[in-house]
Amino acid sequence: MLAAVQIACLIAFALMLLAAAWQDLRSMRIADGLSIGIAASFAAWAGTGLAAGTYSLVSLGLAVACGVGVFLAGALAFAAGGLGGGDVKLAAVSALFAGPALLLDFVLIVAVAGGLLGLAILAGAPIGPVTAGEQGVRARLGNNLPYGPAIALGGLWVAFSLAPI
């Protein structure tokens, strides 16, 4: 029964990641409700793991530390204009699920996927909202990058890695 709850939490996490990616692609915004929902899903997942004896308080503390660390790094990127606020929150709550065991995988997948998104935009792919009259590489470089899909890809890797298959 408890394992089923944890699986449901991972499915909810994955679905909210997909919703965030889609929303970011369409509007360059990620609703706070999605990040709050992912945090609630993590709380239920971790609480169920604690009750089942498959998750420890130490693991929970380390996962929270990972989330805080990613949030702080993201806040610096936000201050420098490199990430949006929704991206920072989405990455931080996704890092809760990653914890220390999957954090490096998460960060690497997000970085590679983000780089590929950037290259696709430079190549002229219509990714994200397109502004009227946009032409040339210089104009595409001036636009923001919808980073939600890259974060979602890293989070999906984490969700599948945590699934008891």
Residue-wise pLDDT for 23-53, tens only, equals: 998 888 999 999 999 999 999 999 999 999 9
How does DSSP classify residue 132?
A: T
Q: Is 105 exposed, middle or buried (0-12, 13-18, 19+ CB in 10 A)?
A: middle
Q: What is the pLDDT of residue 123?
A: 82
Annotated domain spans of the chain: 2-162
> In the numeric block, which tokens belong to residue 27?
């509007």
Q: What is the pLDDT of residue 138?
A: 46
Which residues of the chain fall below pLDDT 50?
Answer: 137-138
Question: How many degrees, rounded to 5, is the angle at CA 119 between CA 81 and CA 22?
Answer: 70
Describe the crossing of helices 148-162 and 2-27 by its angle, rounded to 10 degrees: 170
Distance of alpha carbon 78 from the chain centroid: 15
